Structure 1
């Protein structure tokens, strides 16, 4: 059989498209969603590559595979796939996946505020959904505990000179740089230059050093860079800042990203400029935004970790069935056949 199929719901949050795989994929081996992610990464990476490369997609998209939860308290599990690989958590992907499980009826949609739990590779995620007239108007999800690993270090970057950066962990390691120090005002016309600048900085940091999480250990080379604009205080407990997130290699996110917003909260706490209960709205090159709330701080590892939530809205773009013809020279089916239900209908 050369033609394979599976089902998608395309969504976006803040401009970042998340392709939610809702059906057609076999159950993956693994006692937890994290173990299932490892299987997908190591033995079935064809799904990620298929949906993020031509002719089906572009690297700027993300993919989320809905899987059965392994924890009985969770309504569903999900595995996140991006151009850099398999992050264990993502705010924008979580917002999109939470919207998709409501729209697909995996979690029955209710008017008003409803709460449920999803299981990510990072663990359980509390979701609060606000539904008005049948429309999912907002999703608030728990961000990962975030902390500052490195504060205002310097590195020499070819063509840029000495660059000052901090590093936060918020689901992945983020280099945080001041946009104005690098000559950027964070408008859409700068998108290509931002990507080129970030690429050079990330390459330099990766060549010089690695990073280790206090419980996860080595999680690979630093994949993210977050350009920070000036912080404006718009109320006693509310701040706003233009922001841009880069994913290595080569992608400027359409949104400010949830984990990027969590990283900013960690830095602002480290610098003593916010307190528990305060909110930060990050605003993208496309004038979209997420709102992060600093909810608590606790001692863990060798320092403070910041508890936080991320709020945003996801829109459904399309519901479709992908047809994969392995005879097509543009399509690489390697690493794909053994997880597609339609490749072996006798198992259905």
Structure 2
């Protein structure tokens, strides 16, 4: 088969959450910064995102990361998170996938036992320490952008659950974090569908009732995800981040775990250098730690460190055919649910 134009993609997952990485063939994205490039994808031309994130080449329960040269001199590489709904500035599980791909393919030189990688993202510079042995990236510890609370116990009026409380916090994107028992569910595989539907319903309600704005990045002004949580007696937390068009994160969610650290700090329940385990709906684990304190736009913030592992499980080439009738992809309500009408 002749491939005149194609995308080269590494197939990667972090604790079960697919975070594939485009390593070749992507078009040039206009913009002087990674933030401008992300905004271009979201506001001007989303054809690449649709090509790699929609059927028939993809499914809703996955992410594709666009690997790019950095726009800042202190970074080794850059990436943009492409998902079914839009391009996003940062993701912990996807950052772990990207670093694993960079090191195990030699795009960034692996140094054993530890390699430091600096990533340019739309949310800011991410510094990563990767534990390496025998050519394998065993684990990734990422120093995320500062995480801070926008509002604790925000009241959300709902027709189904009455008034519930949400902690609104930033961990790379904005989250609404909600105790799962307030909607009468548990974070277990049997409740995944109900959790996803509840998260999408609450995200719509939050958009009408709660306003967010990053004090330093004007375009970060929406609650990206609803994350359900269940604190455990040992100090760990079980998390369930819900994503459009209506699914749950298979991983413990790195940016959500970062936002959770900010919430715990704001409530006086967190000590610096205290590691907290974040576990997913399928039992995957990240370790979350606040390694320092700072401020963002005058708000108290923590410096989160998230540690987890990823695995490269394959490689694929996606052929770009001008006459493909589904080059822009398609979505059906069997997987998209009611959000299919918003495309």
TM-score (norm 2): 0.90
Q: What corresponds to 2:232 in structure 1?
A: 231
Moved over 6 A (4+): none
- 2:237 matched to 1:241? yes
Q: What corresponds to 2:13 in structure 1?
A: 12
Q: What corresponds to 1:294 in structure 2?
A: 290
Question: What do residues 160-203 of structure 1 show as CA deviations (whole Å, max 9, x unaligned)?
Answer: 22211111111111111111222222111100010111122111
**Higher strand proportion, which one?**
1
**2:127 and 2:144 in contact (8 A); partners too:** no
Question: How big is the shift at 1:232?
Answer: 3.0
Counterparts of 1:1-348 in structure 2, within 5 Å, are: 4-217=5-218, 219-233=220-234, 239-332=235-328
Q: What corresponds to 1:343 in structure 2?
A: none
**1:157 and 1:200 in contact (8 A); partners too:** no
Structure 1 Cα separation of the partners of residues 228 and 83 of structure 2: 20
Question: What do residues 133-186 of structure 1 show as CA deviations (whole Å, max 9, x unaligned)?
Answer: 222110111112111111112222122222111111111111111112222221
Question: How big is the shift at 1:224?
Answer: 0.5
Structure 2 Cα separation of the partners of residues 217 and 44 of structure 1: 20
**1:158 and 1:200 in contact (8 A); partners too:** no
**2:62 and 2:83 in contact (8 A); partners too:** yes
Structure 2 Cα separation of the partners of residues 252 and 329 of structure 1: 30
Unaligned runs of 5+ in 2: 330-343
Unaligned runs of 5+ in 1: 234-238, 334-348
- Which shows bigger deviation, 200-209 or 283-292? 200-209
Question: What do residues 71-110 of structure 1 show as CA deviations (whole Å, max 9, x unaligned)?
Answer: 2222111111122312211111111111111122111223
Question: How big is the shift at 1:218?
Answer: 5.1
**1:7 and 1:321 in contact (8 A); partners too:** yes
Structure 1 Cα separation of the partners of residues 134 and 224 of structure 2: 39
Q: What corresponds to 1:339 in structure 2?
A: none
- Which shows bigger deviation, 137-146 or 321-330? 321-330
**1:223 and 1:248 in contact (8 A); partners too:** no
**2:61 and 2:247 in contact (8 A); partners too:** yes
Structure 2 Cα separation of the partners of residues 2 and 130 of structure 1: 37
Question: What do residues 273-316 of structure 1 show as CA deviations (whole Å, max 9, x unaligned)?
Answer: 11111111111111101111111112332421111111110100
> Per the alignment, in what secondary structure is the counterpart of residue 66 of structure 2?
strand
Structure 1 Cα separation of the partners of residues 279 and 31 of structure 2: 38
* Cα gap change, 1:299 to 1:3, in 2 (>3 Å): closer
Question: What do residues 109-132 of structure 1 show as CA deviations (whole Å, max 9, x unaligned)?
Answer: 232112121211222211111112
> Per the alignment, in what secondary structure is the counterpart of residue 190 of structure 1?
helix
Question: How big is the shift at 1:2?
Answer: 9.9
Question: What do residues 260-282 of structure 1 show as CA deviations (whole Å, max 9, x unaligned)?
Answer: 10011111111111111111111
> Per the alignment, in what secondary structure is the counterpart of residue 213 of structure 1?
coil
**2:49 and 2:87 in contact (8 A); partners too:** no
Q: CA RMSD in A?
A: 2.0
Structure 2 Cα separation of the partners of residues 302 and 54 of structure 1: 44
Question: How big is the shift at 1:10?
Answer: 1.2
